[in-house]
Amino acid sequence: MSDADGADSNDDGSSGAFGAAIERGEDVPLLTGDGQYTDDISLPGTTHLAIRRSDHAHARLESVDTSAAEAMDGVVAVFTGEDVVESGVPNTIPTAWDLPGLVQPQYRMLATDKVRHEGTAVAAVVAETPHAAHDALERISVEYEPLEHVTDPVEAVERDVPPVHDEAEDNVAFDFELGDSDATDEAFADADRVTSVDLRQPRIIPNAMEPRAALADWEETTEKLRLWMTSQNPHLHRMLLSAGTLGLPENRIQVIAPEVGGGFGSKIYHYPDEAVTAWCSMQLGRPVKWQATRSESYLTDCHGRDHVTTGEIALDDDGTIRGVRVETHAGLGAQLSQFGTATPSYLYATILSGQYAIPAIHCRVVGAFTNTTPVDAYRGAGRAEGIYVIERLVDVGARELEMDPAELRRRNLIQPDEFPFETAAALVYDSGEYERAMDVALEHVDYDELRERQDELREEGRYLGIGVANFVESAGLSPSGLAGDLGAQAGGWESSIVRFDSTGSVTILAGTADQGQGHRTTYAQIAAEELGLSVDDIDVVEGDTDRIPQGMGTYGSRSASVGGGSIARGAREVREKARRIAAHQLETPVDDLEFEDGEFHVTGAPDRSLHIQTIAHEAYLGHDLPEGMDPGLEETNFYDPENFTYPFGTHVAVVEVEPETGEIEIERYVAVDDCGEIINPMIVEGQVHGGIAQGIGAALYEGAAYDDEGHLETRRMDEYAVPHSTQLPEFETDSTVTPSPHNPIGVKGVGESATIAATPTMVSAVVDALEPFDVDHLDMPITPESVWRATEGDR
């Protein structure tokens, strides 16, 4: 393990837990039905909330008549936006990321003046049963004055349409630039060739297994709100709910995230629905539960992507990339979600250098309001969109130069001795051995031989495609000062407590919040390694703001590096306190003690030893501690890393495309990922598998569609295509290990890597297969129909 963080590394105390493919301890309760999700929790007297949503994309709200609904059996109360306003709570759903010149319109719990996208919350019914609440929704009479709507981000700013918000007449929420435009112009003027691609990255809808849910319990006597919810970041939810929305201090709110069945970004955000659940409980003094239906999730969970982009690349004839210029219209939806501003700006434009040493980059992003569901970070957020652009540009550049696309990539890779590497897009990459990972991936498929086979098959009228994509991503946004400089209303740190109890077992209280990533296993591995224990000695607790003092949550592939980094630091501090107790009791200088398998022993006298679990007992007895030392054995750690981590890798897909039918068969998919030191290879492989599936989903299947009325057409599982396991090949995974030099355990994130890599890889493969048809690019999702249409001209 690397150790560049000041604390001593676990030099001789290695338990072997770090790096082992240990099975996920959390899976037994989850697979046997013992896992407790929000909807499984019931309190005496629980009522049920259903939300009436607008079926108009854009309309003035004329009136909301709730009388018939109120009169129904089992209905406890019906509330409108006016009721929320009258209650006097702050009633804002705040954005958490400011940008220069950002237009920040009001965002209320329930609409009062206009509805701005289909699905806008208009009224709330609380009833004794879920069925009574849903039945009553039908009896609310809402009158609208329909307004012209717009769903496309380019049309929103270029066509003469009524603004989504009066504050932004042209529907522009922000106009963002990054990079040096003069230097980029010069690079383009000097380059031998310039080529470009117009592309769309369609709207993606997250498909977590568990739809969002909340259970709120306002206790009148203590004036305390307990809120169970499907949260990726309970402390952030507590913060956003407290001041901006409900007007409560944080210590009056407890947010609990029990088991959460997947998030992929969609459960980061502070939506009106959970806030309304809490507010209703405060009004009624009774527990209130809201469980989204699947269609409600499609309509209201933040969508991802929605970019329309023109990218240009300037190249010399020898393949040197001289510059990249990108202009994007990013759809933000009807309201600003918390990180909806950061995702298409800082998280996107900064990664446009990819793995390449590109001297000049300029990117402009126009963030546009549209009459659609808000858009925010979806797995890969910003980085996925950026890597897609640069990888597509490299592919079209290779076509322009008639050069092998892998060769063009290779010629521009940042070399290992150039790290830390400052890109022209404002990031400083920590470490990387890009060519090594690329070589491993290409060797797996025997690239040169594969190209020969491709030529042979073309002779036979068969179309094999080989897609290669390199990616790097910025995971674990930090340090906090930088986040603040860029406009974030949250920090990049993470916090944890490592606590021995008097029986020698350990509890880790972590500020992150798992939704399936396996934190309970990997965090136990980190602590076991540092403390010389077995993972069975360690319990991991996440997702409760009353038990865990602080935290930032799980998103942006930050938990292993920032959360795990904090745990490692805390465990090292605990170990050092234990060492001082051991030295005192063994009557030996601290420096004379060695640590192995949890045992401190005097150098050269192994029989004079004390186990760290015995010391824990002593620490809580407090009878015989060094002079001035406080009893107990626990540490609270806040870790604010000095930089992001930059995972990377190369993915290769081999497909065969049948132009007559448009069918795409994936023959092989090889993923070589480098996420630094690997805590648990089995979990990392699982993350890579899931990520590839989602990337292939985006490339070949997924995409939200709106009809001419601005209604979401893809609002059910049989209307929104995600790949089935039978449509996916066996994934072949491999890894290289390039530790992050500044992270205490040398890890980099992995949770989003494969999603980022898989989309350009798949598109590259299909387009490569269609080279004989002069197809340079196809937009996602590449369906059999789009393949058939693209090749039709040749029939």
Residues in touch with ligand MCN (CB under 6 A): 262-265, 379, 515-519, 522, 554-560, 564, 675-680, 683-684, 687, 690, 747-752
CB of 24 to ligand MCN, least distance (A): 9
Q: Determine the number of helices (DSSP H) and then strands (DSSP E) in the chain.
A: 21, 28
- In the 8-state DSSP scheme, what is residue 8? P
CB of 423 or CB of 515, closer to ligand MCN: 515
Orientation angle between helical segments 564-586 and 612-621, nearest 10 degrees: 80
Q: Which two tokens stand for residue 19?
A: 């790096």
Q: How far is the CB of 540 from ligand MCN (least distance, A)?
A: 11
Cα dist from 659 to 120, 273, 364, 461, 698, whole Å: 42, 46, 36, 10, 21
Closer CB to ligand MCN, 465 or 647, in the complex: 647
204 versus 442: smaller Cβ distance to ligand MCN? 204
The distance of closest approach from Cβ of residue 332 to ligand MCN in the complex, given in angstroms and rounded to an integer, is 19
> Considering beta carbons, is residue 299 or 754 the nearer one to ligand MCN?
754
Q: C-beta of 14: minimal distance to ligand MCN in Å?
A: 17
Tokens of 333: 């939806």
Using the minimum distance from each CB to ligand MCN, give the nearer residue, 187 or 678. 678
User: Closer CB to ligand MCN, residue 16 or residue 606?
Assistant: 16
**Residue (359 or 695) nearer to ligand MCN, CB:** 695
Q: Which is nearer to ligand MCN, 91 or 740 (CB)?
A: 740
- In whole angstroms, give the CA distance from residue 472 to residue 449: 27
Q: How far is the CB of 435 from ligand MCN (least distance, A)?
A: 21
Surface-to-core class of residue 794, CB atoms within 10 Å of its CB (0-12 exposed, 13-18 middle, 19+ buried):
exposed
Q: Which is nearer to ligand MCN, 91 or 515 (CB)?
A: 515
For the chain, the distance separating the N- and C-terminal CA atoms, rounded to the nearest angstrom, is 59
DSSP 35-82: --BGGG---TT-EEEEEEE-S-SSEEEEEEE-HHHHTSTTEEEEEEHH
Tell the residue number behind the tokens 């947010």, with chain if given. Answer: 255
The count of residues in the chain is: 795
**Strand intervals (E) in 553-658:** 593-596, 599-602, 605-611, 634-639, 648-658
| Min separation Cβ 376 and ligand MCN, Å | 11
Q: How far is 228 from 387, CA to CA, in rounded Å?
A: 36
Residue 586: helix, strand or coil by DSSP?
helix
Looking at the Cβ atoms of 214 and 560, the one nearer to ligand MCN is 560
User: Nearest approach, Cβ of 75 to ligand MCN (angstroms)?
Assistant: 35
Rounded CA-CA distance 729/706 in Å is: 31
CA atoms of 574 and 528, how far apart (whole Å): 12
The minimum distance between CB 19 and ligand MCN, in angstroms, equals: 9
Contact 689, 697 (CB under 8 A): no
Shortest CB 146 distance to ligand MCN, Å = 36
Q: How far is the CB of 82 from ligand MCN (least distance, A)?
A: 37
Kind and range of the H or E run holding 438: helix 434-445
Measured at the alpha carbon of residue 477, what is the angle toward residues 471 and 480, in degrees to the nearest 5? 160
- H-helix or E-strand containing 471? strand 463-472
Rounded to whole angstroms, the Cα distance separating 341 from 329 reads 12
How far CA 464 is from CA of 75, 454, 619, 727, in Å, comes to 61, 5, 66, 17
- Scanning the structure block, which residue is given the tokens 């249409």? 789
Asked if residue 351 lies in contact with residue 474, where contact means CB atoms within 8 angstroms, the answer is yes
- Residue closer to ligand MCN by CB (options 209, 605) is 209
C-alpha–C-alpha distance, residues 465 and 771, integer Å: 9
What are the C-alpha distances in Å from 36 to residues 40, 289, 328, 425?
A: 6, 15, 42, 44
Instruction: Return the number of the residue (302 or 361) whose C-beta is nearest ligand MCN.
Output: 302
Least Cα distance to 214 among 50, 61, 60, 3 occurs for 50
Q: Which is nearer to ligand MCN, 518 or 760 (CB)?
A: 518
| Interior/surface letters 312-348, b for 16+ CB within 10 angstroms, e for the rest | bbbbeeebbbbbbbbebbbbbbbbbbbbbbbbbbbbb
How far from 76 is each of 136, 246, 283, 311, 573, CA to CA, in Å? 11, 21, 11, 55, 53
CB of 566 to ligand MCN, least distance (A): 12
Least distance (Å) between residue 696 CB and ligand MCN = 16
CB of 433 to ligand MCN, least distance (A): 15
Nearer to ligand MCN, 265 or 354 (CB): 265
Q: To the nearest whole angstrom, how small is the minimum distance from the Cβ of residue 383 to ligand MCN?
A: 10
**Partner residues linked to 78 by β-bridges:** 125
Residue number with CB closer to ligand MCN (450 or 737): 737
165-171-172-173 Cα dihedral, nearest 10 degrees: 30
Q: How far is the CB of 745 from ligand MCN (least distance, A)?
A: 8
Q: Cβ closer to ligand MCN: 613 or 645?
A: 645
* Cα dihedral 707/711/716/720 (nearest 10): 40
Q: Could you tell me the smallest distance in angstroms from the CB atom of residue 385 to ligand MCN? A: 14
